[in-house]
C-alpha cells in the first residue's frame, strides 16, 4: 500500500445542526487524512455522535458540506454513505445471530452465481478479511455463539469487507476487557496500514493517546482544538474537554445531613462491578460519576433488585436487607428512576394517572378494589407537585414531551414515599425548563430527608447537585470526593482511571 500519507480523505466543512431546542453542532470543521487514526474526544453531549451521524447519513446537516477525496457527498441514508466508503462500527452490535460469521460479513452482497451462494468465494472473502485483520475467527461459526468481543470483530470485518475509505469507531471498547481492547487496537493498526482513514471516538483517554495520530476536541458543539497527539497528556486533554463556564446555574439547597440511611459494603456482580462500598445519609445527595459503561447503572439496578448481585451487603436504617426483586426493594423504601425512560419508566399507552399509581396501587385500593377518588386526588397532587405540564392526569403519557414524561416517572416513584431514591440520568434528553424543575424537585426531596443517589454523565450537573461524589472506573470505585474536593478535573481523572483513590 503506497499512498500519499498526507492526502486528505474526508473534509467536513462548516457543519451546523440544530435539533428542536438544542444547537448540537455549530460550524464544525473536520479533516481526516489517509492512514491516520483521528480521535474525537469531548464530554457526553459535546456533539461527537451527532457529527458522526451526519457523516454516516443518519442525519442531514442544516449547513455545511461533506467531501470525500475531493468529491462532495449528499447522503440520504446510511446505506448510501456506506456505498460511498464510510464504514461505521458502533458500540451496539447489529448482526444476524442465526447466520455464520462469513455470511454476516458479506450479508449485503453475498457472492453468488445463478442465485446460489458461492460458498467458496464467501469463505475465501471471510478468511481473507479476517486474516488481514489479524484475527482467528472461524468463518463457519454461528454469530449467535460468539462472545461479545468476537461479535464486535465480525462487525468490524463486515465494515472492512465493504472496502471503506473511512471507518468510524464509536466507543468500540466500552464493552470490552483490556485484553480484548488490545486485540482491537491491533486490528485498527492493520486497517490504518492498509490505507484506511480511521476516526476513533472514546472516553478512555489512555487509549486515545496510545492509538491516535491527531485529536480533535469538541465542546458544546464546537471545535475547541485539533492537534497532534504527540506530547499531549491526559490532564491537558481533560482541561481541553471540560474547561468552560457553566451556562446553567444549578441551584444547591443547603440541607442538614442526618444519619446514614443506605450502607452498601463490598457489593459485587461478577464481571460487571466489584467491591462497591458506599454510604448515603438522610438529606444527602450522592453523585455517582463515571464514563458510559463504567458500571453506574448496573450498580443502581442491583440496588433496586432488577439484577442479581453475587456478593456484598446492603444495610438500610441499620438493618441488613437482601434485595431480590423490585418488589422487595420498594417494600424496603428504595425507588429507582431508570436511565431508559421509554423502556423501564413509562407505559406510553396508559394515562398519567395510571402510570403514577402503578407501584402504589395498594395505597389507593381497599381489598384490591381501586378507590377512584383517592387515586385521582393522590395522582393529581403528585402531578402538580412535580409540575407535570399540563397537569391533565387522564391524558396518555405518549402525548407528553420527554421532560414531562420524566416528571411522570418521578411522580410515580415519589408516590411510594421512598427513603432512598436512585436517579439514573434524570435530565437526559430533557429541555432546559424541565431540567430546572427536576433539579428543584431533587433539592426539595433532599430537604425532606430522602437519601439520594444521582447518576449523571453531565459532570457540571453532578458537581453542582452532589454533596459527595463517588467515581467509578471499569466497575470499581476509584474515588470518593467531598463537595469541596470535587471538581471537573479530579472527577474526570478518576473516571478515566488516571488517578486511583488511595
Partner 1 sequence: MNTLKRVFESPAVLTLIHYRVVVILIATLFLSVSLVPGLTEFRTLSLSLDRTATLGVVAVGLTVVLLMGKLDLSVGSTLALSGIATIGLQDQLGPFGAAVAGIVVGVLAGVLNGFLVVTLQINSLVATLASMIFLRALCHFLTDSNPISGDDPLFGLTVSRALGGTFSLRTYVFLIAILLLFIWLTYTVAGRRLYAVGSNEHAATASGIRSNRYLFGAFVFSGFTAGAAGVMQSLATNTGSPAFGEATALTAIAAVVIGGTRLEGGRGSALGTLGGVLVLAAITTTLEYESVPTYYQNIVTGSILLLLILLDRIASNSPRSALSLNSLLSFGKRDETPTEKKQEGKVP
Partner 2 sequence: MTSAATLPPRVTEEKTANKILGWIALPVGILALLVIGSLLSEQFFTTRNLTNVLINMSIVGIIVVGMTFVFIVRGLADLSVPAMVAIGALLTLSLQPSLGSLVGALVGILAASAAGLINGLFIGYFRLNPVITTLATGTIVLGIAQAAVGGVIVYGDDPALQSFLTGRIILGIPTIVLIFLAVAVGGHLLLSQTIFGRWVYAAGSNPDATKASAVPLNFTKAAAFWMTATLSGFSGVLLALTLQTARPGIGTGYEFDAITAVVVGGVSLLGGFGNVPRAIGGLLLVTLLSNIMVLNGIPTASQGLVMGALIAGAVALDVYLRRRGGAA
Q: What residue ranges bind partner 1 (CB under 8 A)? A: 78-79, 91-99, 103, 107-108, 110, 112, 115-117, 119, 142, 144-145, 148, 151, 174-175, 271-272, 297-298, 301, 306-308, 340
CB atoms within 10 A of CB 344: 14
CB closer to partner 1, 26 vs 306: 306
321 forms part of the interface with partner 2 (CB under 8 A): no
Cα 178 to chain centroid distance, Å, stands at 19
Binding of partner 2 at residue 396 (CB under 8 A)? Answer: yes
Partner whose footprint covers residue 95, from partner 2, partner 1, none (CB < 5 to 8 Å by kind): partner 1
Residues of span 182-211 touching partner 2 by CB under 8 A: none
C-beta closer to partner 1: residue 149 or 381: 149
Binding segment toward partner 2, per CB under 8 A, in 167-175, 205-213, 282-290, 383-391: 383-391
Q: Considering the complex, what minimum distance in angstroms separates the CB of residue 411 from partner 2? A: 12
**For partner 2, which stretch binds (CB under 8 A), given 104-112, 168-176, 434-442, 455-463?**
434-442
188 phi and psi angles, rounded to 5 deg: -65, -40
d(CA 88, CA 80): 12
Residue 321: count other Cβ atoms within 10 Å of its Cβ: 17
Strand order through the sheet with 420-424: 334-337, 420-424, 451-455, 285-290, 468-473, 476-482
Alpha carbon 393 to chain centroid distance? 31
Least distance CB 271 / partner 1 (angstroms): 8
Q: What is the 3-state secondary structure (H, E, C) of 216-246?
A: EEEECCEEEEEEECCCCCHHHHHHHHHCCCC
Residue 97 binding: pick among partner 2, partner 1, none (C-beta 5-8 Å cut-off by kind): partner 1
Rounded-to-integer distance, Cα 52 and Cα 116, Å: 37
Give the residue with the Cβ less far from partner 2, 122 or 438: 438
Cβ atoms of 299 and 273 closer than 8 Å: yes
Is residue 247 close enough to count as binding partner 2 by CB under 8 A?
no
| Sheet with 273-281, side-by-side order of all strands | 273-281, 260-269, 311-316, 319-321
CB of 331 to partner 1, least distance (A): 18
Helix (H) or strand (E) holding 8: strand 8-19
DSSP, collapsed to helix, strand or coil, labels residue 116 as strand
**Lookup: cell for 377:** 386526588
The partner in contact with residue 225, picked from partner 1, partner 2, none with C-beta cut-offs of 5 to 8 angstroms by kind, is: none
Q: How far apart are the first and last CA of the chain?
A: 49
Q: Is 68 in the site for partner 2 (CB under 8 A)?
A: no
CA distances from 395 to 194, 346, 358, 373, 387 (A): 57, 13, 15, 17, 15
Report 338-367 residues binding partner 2 (CB under 8 A): 338, 343-350, 354, 357-359, 361-362, 365
Closest CB to partner 2 among residues 44, 416: 416
Min. distance of Cβ 369 from partner 2 in angstroms? Answer: 6
Q: Is 162 in the site for partner 2 (CB under 8 A)?
A: no
Half-sphere exposure of 389 (CA within 13 A, CB side): 9
Residue 493 interacts, among partner 1, partner 2, none and using kind-specific CB cut-offs from 5 to 8 Å, with none
Give pairs for 301-305: CB < 8 Å, separation 24+: 301/336, 302/267, 302/269, 302/273, 303/262, 303/264, 303/267, 303/329, 303/334, 303/336, 303/422, 303/453, 304/329, 304/334, 304/335, 304/336, 304/422, 305/329
Determine the 3-state secondary structure of 28 from DSSP. strand
* Site mask for partner 2 (CB under 8 A), range 402-421, x = bound: -xx-------x---------
Nearer to partner 2, 139 or 391 (CB): 391
Only segment of 113-121, 166-174, 200-208, 330-338 that touches partner 2 (CB under 8 A): 330-338
Size, binding site for partner 2 by CB under 8 A: 47
Residues 288-317 that bind partner 2 (CB under 8 A): 304, 306
Q: How far is the CB of 119 from partner 2 (least distance, A)?
A: 33
- Please report, as ranges, the residues that interact with partner 2 according to CB under 8 A: 304, 306, 325-327, 329-330, 336, 338, 343-350, 354, 357-359, 361-362, 365, 368-370, 372, 387, 389-390, 395-396, 398-401, 403-404, 412, 431-434, 436-437, 440
Amino acid at each position: 500500500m503506497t499512498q500519499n500519507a498526507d492526502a486528505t480523505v474526508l473534509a467536513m466543512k462548516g457543519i451546523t445542526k440544530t435539533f428542536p431546542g438544542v444547537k448540537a453542532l455549530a460550524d464544525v470543521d473536520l479533516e481526516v487524512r489517509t492512514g491516520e487514526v483521528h480521535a474525537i474526544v469531548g464530554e457526553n453531549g459535546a456533539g461527537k455522535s451527532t457529527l458522526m451521524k451526519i457523516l454516516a447519513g443518519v442525519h442531514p446537516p442544516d449547513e455545511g458540506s461533506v467531501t470525500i477525496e475531493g468529491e462532495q457527498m449528499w447522503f440520504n441514508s446510511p446505506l448510501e454513505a456506506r456505498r460511498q466508503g464510510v464504514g461505521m462500527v458502533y458500540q451496539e452490535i447489529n448482526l444476524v445471530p442465526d447466520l455464520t460469521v462469513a455470511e454476516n460479513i458479506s450479508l449485503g452482497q453475498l457472492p453468488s452465481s445463478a442465485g446460489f451462494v458461492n460458498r467458496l468465494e464467501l469463505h475465501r472473502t471471510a478468511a481473507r478479511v479476517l486474516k488481514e485483520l489479524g484475527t482467528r475467527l472461524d468463518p463457519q461459526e454461528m454469530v449467535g455463539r460468539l462472545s461479545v468481543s468476537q461479535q464486535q470483530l465480525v462487525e468490524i470485518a463486515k465494515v472492512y469487507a465493504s472496502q471503506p475509505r473511512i471507518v468510524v469507531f464509536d466507543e468500540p471498547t466500552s464493552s470490552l476487557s483490556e485484553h480484548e481492547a488490545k486485540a482491537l487496537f491491533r486490528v485498527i493498526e492493520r486497517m490504518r496500514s492498509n490505507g484506511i482513514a480511521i476516526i476513533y471516538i472514546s472516553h478512555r483517554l489512555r487509549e486515545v493517546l496510545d492509538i491516535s495520530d491527531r485529536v480533535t476536541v469538541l465542546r458544546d458543539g464546537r471545535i475547541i482544538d485539533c492537534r497532534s497527539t504527540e506530547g499531549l497528556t491526559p490532564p491537558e486533554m481533560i482541561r481541553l474537554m471540560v474547561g468552560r463556564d457553566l451556562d446553567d446555574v444549578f441551584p444547591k439547597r443547603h440541607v442538614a445531613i442526618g444519619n446514614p440511611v443506605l450502607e452498601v459494603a463490598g457489593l459485587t456482580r461478577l464481571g460487571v462491578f466489584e467491591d462497591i462500598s458506599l454510604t448515603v445519609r438522610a438529606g444527602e445527595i450522592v453523585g455517582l460519576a463515571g464514563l458510559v459503561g463504567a458500571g453506574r447503572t448496573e450498580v443502581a439496578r442491583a440496588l433496586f433488585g432488577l439484577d442479581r448481585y453475587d456478593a456484598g451487603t446492603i444495610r438500610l436504617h441499620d438493618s441488613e436487607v437482601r434485595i431480590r426483586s423490585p418488589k422487595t426493594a420498594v417494600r424496603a423504601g428504595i425507588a429507582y428512576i431508570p436511565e431508559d425512560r421509554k423502556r423501564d419508566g413509562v407505559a406510553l399507552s396508559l394515562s398519567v394517572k395510571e402510570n403514577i399509581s402503578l407501584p402504589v396501587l395498594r395505597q389507593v385500593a381497599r381489598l384490591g378494589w381501586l378507590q377512584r377518588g383517592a387515586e385521582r386526588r393522590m395522582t393529581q397532587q403528585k402531578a402538580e407537585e412535580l409540575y407535570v405540564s399540563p397537569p391533565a392526569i387522564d391524558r396518555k403519557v405518549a402525548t407528553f414531551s420527554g421532560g414531562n414524561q420524566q416528571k411522570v416517572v418521578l411522580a410515580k416513584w415519589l408516590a411510594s414515599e421512598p427513603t432512598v431514591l436512585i436517579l439514573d440520568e434524570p435530565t437526559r434528553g430533557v429541555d432546559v425548563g424541565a431540567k430546572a424543575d427536576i433539579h428543584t424537585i431533587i433539592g426539595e426531596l433532599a430537604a425532606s430527608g430522602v437519601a439520594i443517589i444521582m447518576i449523571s454523565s453531565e459532570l457540571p450537573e453532578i458537581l453542582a447537585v452532589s454533596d459527595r461524589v463517588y467515581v467509578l472506573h471499569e466497575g470499581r470505585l476509584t474515588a470518593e470526593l467531598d463537595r469541596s474536593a470535587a471538581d471537573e478535573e479530579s472527577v474526570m481523572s478518576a473516571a478515566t482511571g488516571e488517578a486511583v483513590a488511595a
